[in-house]
Amino acid sequence: ASEKTQLIGDGHRRLEKQLICPICLEMFTKPVVILPCQHNLCRKCANDVFQASNPYLSSRSGSTVTSGGRFRCPSCRHEVVLDRHGVYGLQRNLLVENIIDMYKQGSTRWKHTPMCEDHEGEKINIYCISCSVPTCSLCKVFGVHKDCEVAPINDVFQQQKVELTDCVSLLVGNNERVQAIISQLEETCRAVDENGRRQKSKVCETFDHLFAVLEEKKGELTLRINSEQEEKLDYIRGLTRKYTEHLDGTAKLLETCIQTLDESEMAVFLQTVMFLLSRIVEGTNTSHLDKVQPGYENMEHFTANVEHQRRALSIIDFIKRKHNHH
């Protein structure tokens, strides 16, 4: 019995250690808040530490809303950053609060010894292991449990209390692990969000560089077209000027010929006509002037073939790396 009592005492001490506030060194008082590092504090104690660490933050007209602040966790020295709600923005640890309630009720629960309903005046003092119910001695000797396996209720009580205390400690520890996992998941969420934004920015930058290359190449090809276009236009304009000059010359010759036809003095006419006839032969001859070859105006040789590049652009993808997505 003393060994079982020792076990219960150890279990209680382990549990109590989990439920002691590191500030006031008393059992947590509600509400209990969870710090980002998963350690717990009474809200009042957390507020005291917060106020001590941030003396310049005065709550206006007794309001609990401040402009935020920071303090260090008394258990692990992890820096806790609070928003404008201060410690009231921290999450409550309802599991620890419930455990404290159960712990406190446990000491009063068995003060009133229940009596047997079937045998008046008989205390419930044994436990039927076969049926998993508390019962009295008469029920075992004469009643419904006479063929069952029983044990002293105190033994079963001590044993179950040790087991439940261990389970509670396990539950508290598990709760802290789960909270740590949640914090890690939240941190991973933030990292995924930040990395996603960074990679989208890199993709935009990559395509901006690609656009710049295309713009440069477009400008280069356009200049080549412009160069030949101007060369051909200059040549054609030069030819047009030469033909226009030739036309002007023949127009003046024509005018002189018409005036000569009106000359009635034969000697003067004959003197002029021989000169004019030789000029007319020259005026009708355009062999000395260049002719524009058929198709000279064609610029189809400047058609850009980008089919290969279009196919290359359409298969742009991310670099394949072996990694796990989950």
DSSP assignments along 80-120, one per residue = EEE-TTGGGGSEE-HHHHHHHHHHHHHHHHTSS--B-SSST
CB 147 within 8 A of CB 172: no
- What are 86's two structure tokens? 């201060």
Tell which residue, 44, 74, 71, 45, has the closest CA to residue 57: 71
- What are 16's two structure tokens? 């109590």
CA distance 24 to 52: 15
* Paired strand residues for 135: 126
CA distance 196 to 232: 54
pLDDT at 204: 97
Q: Sign (positive/negative) of CA torsion 117, 118, 120, 121? A: negative
CB 156 within 8 A of CB 110: no
CA distance 75 to 164: 27
- Taking phi first (over 0 means left), then psi (-120 to 50 degrees means alpha), and beta for anything else, what does residue 108 get? alpha
Per-residue tens of pLDDT for the chain, all 326 residues: 555 456 555 666 667 777 888 888 888 887 888 888 888 899 889 888 888 887 766 544 444 444 678 888 888 888 888 888 888 888 888 888 888 887 777 655 545 668 888 888 888 889 999 999 999 988 988 888 989 999 998 899 889 888 998 898 888 889 889 988 999 999 999 999 999 999 999 999 999 999 999 999 999 999 999 999 999 999 999 999 999 999 999 999 999 999 999 988 998 899 888 889 888 988 888 888 889 999 999 999 999 999 999 999 999 999 887 765 55
- For residue 84, which phi and psi values (nearest 5 degrees)? -65, -15
pLDDT at 315: 93
CA distance 249 to 288: 15
Task: Decide the pairing of beta strands 150-152 and 126-128.
Answer: antiparallel
* Paired strand residues for 41: 33
